[in-house]
Structure formats: C-alpha cells, structure tokens
Amino acid sequence: MGTAWNRRNALLAWVALGLAIGTALALTDRALAARIVWSAAALPVALHVGLAAAQALAGGRVGVDVIALAAILGAAALDEAAAAAVVALMVAGGEALEDWAQGRAKRSLTALAARAPRRAARLAEGTVEEIDAAAIRPGDTLLVRPGETVPADGTLADAEAVLDESALTGEPLPRRLRTGAELRSGAVNAGAAFRMRATASAEASTYAAIVRLAEQAAASRAPLTRLADRFAVVFIAATAVVSGLAWVFSGDPVRALAVLVVATPCPLILAAPIALVAGVGRAAARGIVVKGAGVIERLARIRIVLFDKTGTLTPGRPRLAAIETVPGLRREAALRLAAALAQGSTHPVSAALVAAARERGLAVPAPEAAAETAGGGLSGHVDGQAVLLGSEGFLRERGLAPPETLAIAASLAVAGSVAWLAVGGRVVAAFVMADGLRPEVRRTVRRLRALGVERIGLVTGDRGEAAAPVAAVLRLDAVHAGVSPAGKIAAVHEERARGTVAMVGDGVNDAPALAAADVGIAMGAHGTAAAAEAADAVLLVDRVDRAAEAMAIARRSRAIAIQAIVLGMALSGIAMGFAAFGHLPPLIGALVQEAIDVAAILFALTALRPGRDDVAPAPLPDEAGLADRVAEHAGLRRLAERLREGAEAVGDGPESLRALATLEADLRAELLPHQAEEEQALYPAAARRLGGRDPMGPLIRMHAEIEALCRRLASLLHLAEQQDGWNGASAELRRTLFALEALLTLHLAAEEEALAELASEAR
C-alpha cells in the first residue's frame, strides 16, 4: 500500500508539474514546446494505466481504465496534447483522491491499531517496572496511570476506576467501575491511577483481537466492486458506440476523442468501494467491527435474522421472577431461608437467590453444615432448622413432594426453572427463576422489522417450554428449540431457503451457525473467542441492538454506493451527449469529467455520516434524574410484590388492616413522590429529546390512574376501619390492591423501555 501510494503521488506530481510548465510555455507563444511537455507529462500515466488494464484483464476483469488509456493516446495522436495532460491529471488525481477517501473512510479502523498499547507498568515487590506490553502475563499486577491505555484484560484491584471506552464501544461517557470489575484492554484511564490484575496476556486480550479483526476488515474487496465492474463493461460498450457514431456522423475524430475524455475515468469504480468502506468505518465508530466491505454489502441484503437465546436475547444470568409459598409463610421469610442456604453454592440460581435477598435488605444468616449435590441442590441447617433447596427431583429423591398449593409454581416453570425449598421435612416454597430479556431486545426486533427484515427467529439449545414465551413476547416468526450446534446449522440452512440469513450469537455452540449464515454477528463484549472468530461482524458493546444498527449502516452504505454509481454514470452520459454534438471540446470535457469524479467520490463519503434513522436521541443530562429514578424502580418492584401479598392477606380478615395501613403509608412516602419527581424534571427533558407532540402522555396517564387507585385504597382502608366496615370493603379492597399491583408493574416496564434510548449506556 505504501509503495503504491508513493507511486501514485509521484505520478500526480509529475503530471501536475508538466501541465503547469506546458501552460506557462503556451502563454509565452512556445506552442511546440508546450505540446512536447504536455505529452511527456501524459505518457507515463498512459503506461501506468495500460499496465493496470492488462493486469485487470488477466484477472478476468475489464475496467473503464481502457477508456482513459484510449483518451490519452487519442489526444496525443490528434494533437490535443493539453487534453491528454488534463486526462492524465484526472487519472492520477482520481487515484490519489481514492487513496485519500479510503483513508478517510478507514480512519476509525486504523485508529484502533494506532492506539494499541505498547508499554505497561508492572508492580513487583513494591517497585514499578516498565515492560513491553507483550511481556504481560496472567496474574501480573499492573499500574495504569491517568491517560494511559489498559494494556491487557484483567480485574480492578483498587476501589474505583474511571474508564473511557469510546474507542471500543462508541460510548461517549466514561464508566465508573468498582473493585473486582472486569477491565478490557484498549480502554483509557479517564481518572486517577489504579491497579489491576491481568487475566490474559496482551496478545490474548480484547484489544489485540479487535485490531486483528480491524486488519481483516481493512483488506477486503467488496462484491459491489465487482458489480461496478459489470457496470463498467456496459459503460465501455456505450462509450465506444457513442464515440464511434459521433465520428461517423460528424466526420471529425476530435468529437470521438471528446466523448472518450468525458467518459473516463468513470467514478463508479472509485465511489462504490469507498461508500462501502465508509460503512465499515462508520460501524467501527459505533463499536461494531465488520470484517470487510463485502460483509457490509451482504448485510445490506439480509431478509432473515436468527437469534440465539441465552447470552444474546437474554443476559444469561438467572433472576428471581416469582415466589410461591404455602399459607402462613411470608415470601420474604422463605427467601431469607433459601438465600441463607444458597450462600454455600456458586451455582447461578444460588447467586440469584442471594442477590434477591440482598436487594430486599434481608438479614441473611450463615448456614450450618451446608452440603451441595452436583446438579441437584443443597442441604443444611438455618436457624436450627433442616433446610433443603434444589430441583423437584432432588427433593423427591428424599421422599418430599410439592403440595397441591404450590401447583401454580409448576405451571410457571415455562418462565425458566424452579428451585424448591423444604423446611423440617415439608416443601414450603417455590422460587421461579427466569433469564429475563435484555431491555433493548424488544426495540431491536421492532427496528429490524422497520428495516425490512421479513422473518425473525429463535435458535436455541433450550427446551421449547423456555423458548416459547420469549418468542411470544417478541412476536417472532420461527422457533428452533432444543437443537444442538449441528441442529443450529440445519436451522440456518432451512431458513436460507427463504432468503439471505444473518445469525446473532455469543457462545462456542453458536460458532458453527455463525459461520454457516450469510452474515454471522457475534456478541463480542462478553461472548467467546470462537464466536468472534467465526462471525463476520463483532459487537464490541454488550447490546444486541447494535446488530440492528449494523444493518441500518450497511443498508445506507450500499444505497449510497449504488446512488454514487448512478450519479457518476448519469452525469458522464449527459456530458457524452454534449461532446458528441460538438458542444464540449476535449480540453473542457476533461475538466468537466474531473468535477464529476470529485462529486461522486464526495457523495460516497456521506456514508461516514449517520443517516436519519441512525441518530439516536442524545442522553439526558444528569439533572433530569433518569439514573436516580431507574435506581428507585427496584424498590418500587418490591412495593408491587407487597401489594400482591396484601391482596392475598385480605382473606385473613381484619387482622391484616395494620399491615395494609403500613403499605398505604409506604405508597404515599415512596411511590407518589417518585412520580412527582418524574413529572417535574425527567419527563419534560425526555419529551424534548424524543420529539413529537406528547411522547410522555401515556406514562403520565398511568401516573394519574395509579394515584387514583392509591386514593381509593386510602378511602377503602378508612371505611374498613369503621365499625362493621370490613365486610363491605374487603372485596373491593382486594380488587384495588391487585389492580394497583398490575398497573404499577406494567408502568415500570413501559417506562424503562420508553426511556432506554435516553440513558447514557445506550450510546
């Protein structure tokens, strides 16, 4: 590349100098000397073009370079040396402009390699040792100073670090991380110095893999370039016909020369690949590494998208979805016992139970004599009671069966798995676990539909009972459940019969399907190296909506490439008509064609800018309080659970009034102020960002309904506390509590989805 670039620039300098000297000689009435200088300037370019045309022909391609060659040689033969020099300048300048444009388009990719860490500071026996990044080994303690790049993957050893990950993810705002957080190489320290423990060598770390992917992306030739070559064959034939007819009907070979001059070099061979490479650069700036312009071209034609489930549509971490208990046992009491025993295991379900208990502020005691049965469950003692926690099979092996009162838990098993709790030889609770959808998934599916994707499906190794609810919520068109890696390949081939297929996945078991699809897209932030290597595009941000963004970028880039081809050919065709009728002499025609080339290439570079559909709303300012309001949602969800418990407790009679009064007071103290804060600061700021007449209207209407139900609850409690008032109020009290719980749960979900794009993490 460097040698070719130097040769092209040397040719450009030679032609420009010769044209300038020849022009000066012509202005001093030394016409013969001027023609000699102009011809001398043009002939080396003709030789360069001739060799390139011969190489292309040997490779089975015919390019419009042959028109440029004919124009230069024809101009020299017809004593139009000035036109020959201008055409030569046009060719050399076009190649130099192409180099500049591709460099501009690839800037985001080359910037990745330029920022690769070269040195690192290793802490050893209390001293700081400067080493090459290549010398980093797993287990090394490294010091990352302000402004330095994290040299290898690792974990944070200090209390806090502030990292700028914009080069990796496109996120403009720094992230604040705590002790033990995972660090990825390539991020820049935007705060104070911190220590980290390397978990991989620099070569095996995230940033090195990204650089390798970027190098692959920078060295490809797009299929659309071959499409441009096919256009070139048609264009050459049309040029030959028009120039021949112009000569025949006018009897003047200069007119034929003028047609050749305005027809070359056709901007389609420059503009089309530049637009696609610009798409690669645009994607890289958004944290999407696309392995070449050819992938951009294929991605733009995708009609079917298949998603893996675990780790792609879902975070891959189970969470507590519901708790069912026998009468007389409160849900929080059951969770406290389960979480206590779960502390003796590292299983994801155990971790989810412990996390749920901590979120609720429960004091979890330490278990005694905890023992784990692999693949089954846990046994031990908590508060002096014998406790079992595990699958239904684990409990049945010990002679315990869930009672009929917990049948609801079994029916909810489609949401995920169920962990059963037994205390004192009796099954008392069921914990329904679910791997919830990523918050951006619904919006991703809607955007894919808007982009013209005709079919969206799910391909997963999970059982059909777990996959069906996901497909139903997302309104997917196909579900391939319970399939092996080979089965995923078969699913891809089956869907390919309907159109071009993209596969999105993250795990080792997804790698074969990613390779089999027309375009494989890997979740690279936390996915496996095997998936990233097999895929055609890698999402460096742990957000599945970047897959839809990659498709939007690809479609816009391909559209611009085709528009640039049409623009260049149309303008050249018009100019050829003027030249054929004698209205454009060769010299003026050469200048016109140069302007056409520049216009087409600059138009192709617009693919670097975000399109109308690519621009997400700017994140809200801190004073809007979005982060604080979302953080309060965890407490409000617990409040919704208490509403359900309160409704169930109504059946206990007037004894539940005290707990219900406490619940109503908490609604006034927590929920209503939360809604008032949202309407005062958050919603107005969000409305300005989202646009439209009243984007927050539905959420405000929900607020009003929730407030009305809270007032109704207070009135009913007041009535129930009166003498003989319980019998008249209890049924309506129960309905009001259930209605309030349902509306509050729905409102929290709707609000989070509506505001998801306005959070800084979404950028």
- Report yes or no on 469 lying in a domain: no
Residue 669, CA distances (Å) to 663, 665, 710, 736 in order: 10, 6, 12, 19
Distances (CA, A) of 505 to 521, 543, 574: 7, 12, 49
Q: How many residues does the chain have?
A: 763
Q: Kindly state whether residues 721 and 579 are assigned to the same domain.
A: no
> Is residue 503 domain-resident?
no
% of the chain exceeding 90 in pLDDT: 24
448: Cβ–Cβ under 8 A, 6 or more apart, which residues? 305, 456, 548, 551
Predicted confidence (pLDDT) at residue 235 exceeds the cutoff of 90:
no
Q: 287 with 540: CB under 8 angstroms?
A: yes
666 and 583 part of one domain: no
User: So which residues are the catalytic ones?
Assistant: 308
Residue 762 binned pLDDT confidence (cut-offs 50, 70, 90)? very low
State the CB neighbour count (10 A cutoff) for residue 730: 19
Residues 650 and 714 in one domain: yes
Determine contact, residues 151/133, Cβ cutoff 8 Å: yes
Strand partners, 478: 457
pLDDT in tens, 53-78: 787 777 766 666 777 788 888 888 88
CA pair distance 762, 543, nearest whole angstrom: 8
Residues 691, 731 within the same domain: yes
pLDDT at position 579 over 60:
yes
CA-based R_g, the chain, Å: 34
Amino acid at 58: A
Residue 487: what are its φ and ψ, rounded to 5°?
-65, -30
Clarify whether residues 182 and 37 are in a common domain: no
In a domain, 453, yes or no: no
* Mean local confidence (pLDDT), 612-628: 74
Q: Are residues 634 and 732 in the same domain?
A: yes
| Domain boundaries, position 161 | 118-201
In angstroms, rounded to a whole number, what is the distance separating the alpha carbons of residues 490 and 437?
Answer: 25
| Sequence-distant (≥ 6) Cβ neighbours of residue 318 within 8 angstroms | 348, 349, 352, 416, 417, 433, 434, 435
Q: 399: alpha, beta or left, given left = phi > 0 and alpha = psi -120 to 50?
A: left
Residue 706 has pLDDT above 80, yes or no: yes
Q: Within a domain: residue 679?
A: yes
3-state secondary structure labels for all residues of 27-89: HCCCHHHHHHHHHHHHHHHHHHHHHHHHHHHHCCCCCCHHHHHHHHHHHHHCCCHHHHHHHHH
Strands 377-382, 368-373: parallel, antiparallel or unpaired by DSSP? Answer: antiparallel
Coil, helix or strand at residue 376: coil
Q: What is the pLDDT of residues 438-467, one digit of tens each?
A: 888 888 999 999 899 999 999 987 777 778
Q: Do 69 and 126 fall into the same domain?
A: no
Q: Are residues 629 and 741 in the same domain?
A: yes
Whether 452 is covered by a domain: the verdict is no
Give the mean model confidence (pLDDT) for residues 409-424. Answer: 72
Residue range 327-361, pLDDT digits in tens? 888 888 999 999 999 998 877 788 889 988 988 88
537 is a domain residue: no
Claim to verify: residue 176 and residue 51 sit in the same structural domain = no
**Over residues 282-295, mean pLDDT:** 82
Q: Do 30 and 97 share a domain, yes or no?
A: yes
Residue found by looking up tokens 């749960």 in the block: 745
C-alpha distance across the termini of the chain, in Å: 35
Q: Please check whether residues 99 and 10 belong to one and the same domain.
A: yes
Q: Which of 434, 449, 476 corresponds to the end of one domain?
A: 434
Query: By the 8 A CB rule, do 201 and 122 touch?
Result: no
Average pLDDT over residues 223-230: 57
* 496 touches 480 (CB < 8 A): no
Q: Bridge partners of 143?
A: 121, 195
Query: Counting Cβ atoms within 10 Å, is residue 369 exposed (0-12), middle (13-18) or buried (19+)?
Result: exposed
- The domain that holds 194 is classified in CATH as 2.70.150.10
- The mean pLDDT of the chain is 82
Q: What is the pLDDT of residues 373-384, one digit of tens each?
A: 766 789 999 988
The answer on 714 and 677 residing in a single domain is yes
pLDDT attached to residue 217: 47
Given 434, 460, 482, the domain boundary residue is 434
Cβ neighbours around 192 below 10 Å, total: 12
CATH of the domain at 412: 3.40.1110.10
> Is-contact 637 748, C-beta < 8 A?
yes
**Number of domains the chain is built from:** 4
Q: Is residue 418 part of a domain?
A: yes
Q: In the structure, what pLDDT confidence band is assigned to residue 738 with cuts at 50, 70 and 90?
A: very high
pLDDT at 197 over 50: yes
Sequence-ordered list of residues with C-beta below 8 angstroms from that of 91, at least 6 positions apart, any chain: 45, 49, 68, 72, 264, 265
> Is residue 184 domain-resident?
yes
| Domain termination residue (choose one: 408, 434, 460) | 434
